[in-house]
Amino acid sequence: MIPLSVLDLSPIVEGGSPADALRNTLDLAQHAERWGFRRYWLAEHHNMTGIASAATAVVIGHVAGGTRTIRVGSGGVMLPNHAPLVIAEQFGTLESLYPGRIDLGIGRAPGTDQRTARMLRRDPMAGVDSFPQDVLELQALLGPVQPDQAVRAVPGAGLEVPIWLLGSSLYSARLAAMLGLPFAFAAHFAPDAMMQALEIYRSTFTPSATRDRPYAMVALNIIAADNDAAARRLFTSQQQAFLRLRRGQPGPLPPPVDDLRDHSTALERAGVDQALACSVVGAPDTVRRGLSAFMAATAADELIVTGHIFDPVARRHSFEIVAEVRDALSASAAADL
């Protein structure tokens, strides 16, 4: 059984606050550590009233400080929003505080709208265009100090925090392969290019000083409950959130509804179904079948699981079911050896 990890956007629910969301994030991370998940990643978004992880490095520190063994990182930091030196210093500080537990996943998208992106970096297109050079600069700042190096990340220099490239298209797959970096694909909201991106990454991978072979992690939505009907109802919160985003009306995560058809058109539902095609929703047996099929289809080295659920208790129970299914699959695989 391949490792499973958690991707958390620290969802702010209707009637809740960012403080509530961050407390729920730490609670879920502590449970995920006990349940044997490998990583706990948080994602950078801005000007989103339903997401509390905008200051991603700060939230990573919050989670790492409240856990002991699980790796904690970004899934990801949107590098065009930042100077590489700032990110190197932030993650160098995190690695100094929590040695051997920090991951730095970086993405090329701004994680927000263009107006907000301009406020973050003033010229967001320049950040996108310089992304490959910024990645190399970030690697150098976290790598060994070179003779006569004028600018150093302090902390950061020489700590070699593991860098991942994240993507929802083919661009980052090619760049990750060229630089010999691990790659994570966002199939949880952009499934169309998944198989092609994985094929490109694996077939064009160039060994590097940090990796001698490709390592692909794929993100998957899993909404689990004690029965299929309950899981499908929980899933309507995430479906509504995507509907509102597509309508240009993003906001806090809404409570589940009995029938999504009462809140959407057939065309809207088709669009949401397409975007969330890489989702497993159901009882433990349904999750087992869906997880097994997804692993077989992608041949991923690792899966990172996400799921937007309104009730934090139900969200925690969903990840507990995922861990139990993983353990059952592992025991079955061992028995077959």
pLDDT tens column, 156-206: 999 999 999 999 999 999 999 999 999 999 999 999 999 999 999 999 999
- According to the model, what pLDDT value does residue 126 have? 61
Of the pLDDT bands very low, low, confident and very high (cuts 50, 70, 90), residue 128 is low
Higher pLDDT, 246 or 26: 26
**DSSP strand E in the chain: where?**
4-8, 39-42, 71-78, 102-107, 163-167, 183-185, 216-224, 279-282, 302-306
Query: In terms of pTM, does the model score above 0.85?
Result: yes
Whether residue 129 is predicted with pLDDT greater than 80 in this model: the reply is no
Is-contact 253 239, C-beta < 8 A?
A: no
How far apart (Å, rounded) are the C-alpha atoms in residues 12 and 266? 27
Whether residue 122 is predicted with pLDDT greater than 60 in this model: the reply is no
How far apart (Å, rounded) are the C-alpha atoms in residues 216 and 304? 11
Q: How much of the chain exceeds pLDDT 70, in percent?
A: 97
Whether residue 63 is predicted with pLDDT greater than 80 in this model: the reply is yes
How far apart (Å, rounded) are the C-alpha atoms in residues 98 and 64? 7
CB contact set of 67 (below 8 Å; sequence gap of 6+): 29, 30, 33, 40
Of the pLDDT bands very low, low, confident and very high (cuts 50, 70, 90), residue 5 is very high
Is-contact 309 321, C-beta < 8 A?
A: no
What is each CA distance from 230 to 86, 153, 261, 274, 293, in whole angstroms? Answer: 44, 49, 17, 22, 22
Is-contact 325 288, C-beta < 8 A?
A: yes
CB contact set of 304 (below 8 Å; sequence gap of 6+): 4, 5, 6, 7, 39, 41, 75, 184, 217, 218, 219, 220
* CA atoms in the 13 A half-sphere facing the CB of 174: 6
- According to the model, what pLDDT value does residue 127 have? 56
- According to the model, what pLDDT value does residue 20 have? 98
- According to the model, what pLDDT value does residue 110 have? 73
SS3 state at 206: coil
Query: Comparing C-alpha atoms, which of 323, 284, 318, 317 is closest to residue 303?
Result: 323
Radius of gyration of the chain (CA): 19
CATH code matching the domain that covers 4-336, chosen among 3.60.150.10, 1.20.1050.40, 3.20.20.10, 3.20.20.30: 3.20.20.30
How far apart (Å, rounded) are the C-alpha atoms in residues 110 and 222? 25
How far apart (Å, rounded) are the C-alpha atoms in residues 282 and 278? 13
Structure tokens belonging to residue 308: 């937007």
